[in-house]
Amino acid sequence: MPTSPARSLAPAADTELAARVDAAVGRALAEKRIVGAVTLVARDGEIVHAGAAGLADRESGTPMRVDTIFRLASITKPIVTAAAMRLVETGRLGLDDPVTRWLPDFRPRLADGSEPVILLRHLLTHTAGLSYGFFEPEGSAYHSLGISDGLDLPGFGLAENLRRLAQAPLATPPGAAWRYSLGLDVIGAVLEAAGDKSLPQLVAELVTGPLGLADSGFAVTDPARLAAAYADGAPEPARMADGVVVPLWDGAVRFAPGRAFDPTAYPSGGAGMVGSAGDILAFLETIRRGGGSILRSGTVAEMMRDQVGTQAETQGPGWGFGFGWAVLDDPAAAGTPQSKGTLQWGGAYGHSWFVDPARRLSVVALTNTAFEGMSGAYPGAIRDAVYG
């Protein structure tokens, strides 16, 4: 069993699985729901399928490759969470530290004006009462204050974004409910304060460096390998430009693909990284195996435990949330072939991944098309193809 399966992408082929996955990808391409895709499947630490299909850049005709680099969006979150948990292990952070220990001026209030205590565990599990602008109705404080979701180019830094965020009323008291949020951006600022280094430096030191994830970081290492970004549309997905607003559920997300090239863009702990499918698989396999060189097995076990309960429905019925990802508690309620204890999440630029520890299975499915690759029919089709 190789130490880091994603460092070698020559698969020990499962031809039946590969045919099913390739067919699912091919259908999405033929129906023009996605522009390009990379899919990696590992079983027992061995890559059994590595596929690249479609185009990384439609306008230039650049084909997708297995080592294409993508804007990761929320796949950033589990990596930054792992860095935070490493600092918890070393005693530099505590899960029950109030955020004001590290960010004295970050003091959001409830609608009644009271100031509750937000703990670091609330930020990591999205139970702090914070939100995202794309979940908030027009005219809300998130919009009137101009709070960035970490995917755009707002023209100001993280400290200013947190200053604005602290002025928006909390949706719920900390610990009362799960609400997907900018909590990991706040955690990024906490890490910088506790680690006395920039977030990119800390993530490189604590996670990507030890694992040899050369493609992953807050800046593009090889621009020629970066996939273009596209948004759902008819008759085919539209290429994104900076400032494009893409509808999502009852809201909309403002994207700036150029953020990946802008050295002045603040490092968003919730959405700011780029990386390749091989790097993501190597990280997920490290987690599946118990933490390897970056985390202790006990820490990983706690990260993989549901911290919030299935009432959160973080990926629909049957899903709770751990530290960094959704946790499947009830496969029957979820209507999924995945095993209890499966970890899963994705990214707004068009990505999904899951780890089924019971079956020693890890799957990374990256596309360059938002939101089909994250929340359309595509992730479910890949999942079902893997399980057959």
Q: Which residues of 301-340 are buried (b: 16+ CB within 10 A; e: fewer)?
A: ebbbebbbebebbbbeebbbbbbbbbbbbebeebebebee
Helices 15-30 and 378-387, axial angle in degrees (round to 10) = 160
Do 167 and 145 touch, CB atoms closer than 8 A?
yes
Least Cα distance to 165 among 209, 118, 208, 97 occurs for 118
Alpha carbons 41 and 353: distance in angstroms, whole number = 10
Amino acid letter for position 247 = P
Q: Is residue 74 among the annotated active site residues?
A: yes
Least Cα distance to 227 among 368, 346, 353, 61 occurs for 368
Of 4, 8, 60, 74, the catalytic one is 74
Provide, for the chain, the percentages of residues in helix, strand and coil under a 3-state DSSP scheme, each rounded to the nearest 5.
35, 20, 45
Question: Cβ neighbours of residue 348 under 8 Å, at least 6 residues apart?
Answer: 73, 74, 151, 248, 253, 255, 271, 370, 371, 374
Residues with a catalytic annotation lie at 74
